[in-house]
Amino acid sequence: NAGVTQTPKFQVLKTGQSMTLQCAQDMNHNSMYWYRQDPGMGLRLIYYSASEGTTDKGEVPNGYNVSRLNKREFSLRLESAAPSQTSVYFCASSVKGSLKNTEAFFGQGTRLTVV
Amino acid sequence: AQKITQTQPGMFVQEKEAVTLDCTYDTSDPSYGLFWYKQPSSGEMIFLIYQGSYDQQNATEGRYSLNFQKARKSANLVISASQLGDSAMYFCAMREGGTGRRALTFGSGTRLQVQP
């Protein structure tokens, strides 16, 4: 049972380059999320998708785009990377239902450095 | 406005002692859930415990318990009999609404260090 799988685990980009972070879950979850984690700031929501075919901006969406390709996959794209986007990125998924069982399951994270 | 506040950037505790990690939250939604996660140095996010706003009793999961004080809007995590393996970052998070459609909002975290 793989859970939530993110690729790549590490990436170094030059300023202005683009890249896509991939995320896939095999738990049949409806909801998927992208967070970034910076020191002292916890996890901040970039985008989320409550269900297949829908996406919504989170707290820090500028500089990012997302695609909910199907129920399993939710990708995050940086069109023109900036040093401020150096961070650890987490993909997560959860069921959509009563609150009790909606804890998010997280991928292992992608450590991105923009130089 | 920040919805989850963790005021303790770092905490120390002696092995085998209990420790309380503070979390306060802000919401006008009567239906919400509170979650605690552990993040060891390896980086993964591990779900620990859940408390619903309508739950009458404080949640417990093994050595973890949640001191839920609804009127004060606090949901403190209590770890009993601390172990060296409890050294990690701990995050409090909240999800508003009864449908589970909304994302988790996280606090800034508390780094717990357990000393032998």
The rounded distance, in Å, linking the Cα atoms of B25 and B20 is 16
Q: What local confidence, expressed as pLDDT, does residue B97 receive?
A: 79
**pLDDT (mean) for B35-54:** 95
The rounded distance, in Å, linking the Cα atoms of B107 and B24 is 9
**pLDDT (mean) for A3-29:** 96
| Residue A102 binned pLDDT confidence (cut-offs 50, 70, 90) | confident
Which residues of chain B are within 8 Å of residue A101 when distances are taken between CB atoms?
A: 100
Q: What local confidence, expressed as pLDDT, does residue B101 receive?
A: 60
Which residues of chain A are within 8 Å of residue B91 when distances are taken between CB atoms?
A: 42-43
The yes-or-no verdict on residue B63 having pLDDT over 70 is yes
Supply the Cα-derived Rg of chain A in whole angstroms.
Answer: 13
Q: What is the largest CA-CA distance in chain A?
A: 43
Is A52 part of the contact surface with chain B (CB cutoff 8 Å)? no
The rounded distance, in Å, linking the Cα atoms of B91 and A37 is 12
| Residue B100 binned pLDDT confidence (cut-offs 50, 70, 90) | low
- Residue B16 vs residues B12, B65, B66, B67: alpha-carbon distances, Å: 12, 16, 18, 19
Residue B13: beta bridge partners?
B114
The yes-or-no verdict on residue B23 having pLDDT over 80 is yes
Is A104 part of the contact surface with chain B (CB cutoff 8 Å)? yes
Kindly state the percentage of chain A with pLDDT values over 70: 97
Q: Which of B41, B46, B68 is nearest to B57 (CA)?
A: B68
